[in-house]
Amino acid sequence: MMAKILTPIEAFLATLSRLAVKHDCDGQVIWADGPDWRAQDDEAEMLDPDEIAFYAEGMLIEGLHLHWQIFAENDTPVLARLFFWHKDPPPIPAPEPGLALVAEGHWPQH
Q: Each residue of 1-49: pLDDT tens digit?
A: 677 898 999 999 999 999 999 999 999 999 999 899 998 767 778 999 9
Q: What CA–CA distance (Å, rounded) separates 36 from 70?
A: 20
Angle between helices 8-22 and 49-61 (to 10 degrees): 160
Q: What CA–CA distance (Å, rounded) separates 2 from 85?
A: 36
- This prediction has a pTM of 0.91
Among the listed residues 32, 5, 17, 9, the one whose alpha carbon sits nearest the alpha carbon of residue 77: 17
Q: How far is CA 15 from the centre of its chain?
A: 10
Write the pLDDT tens digit of every residue in 38-84: 987 677 789 999 999 999 999 999 999 999 999 999 989 899 999 99
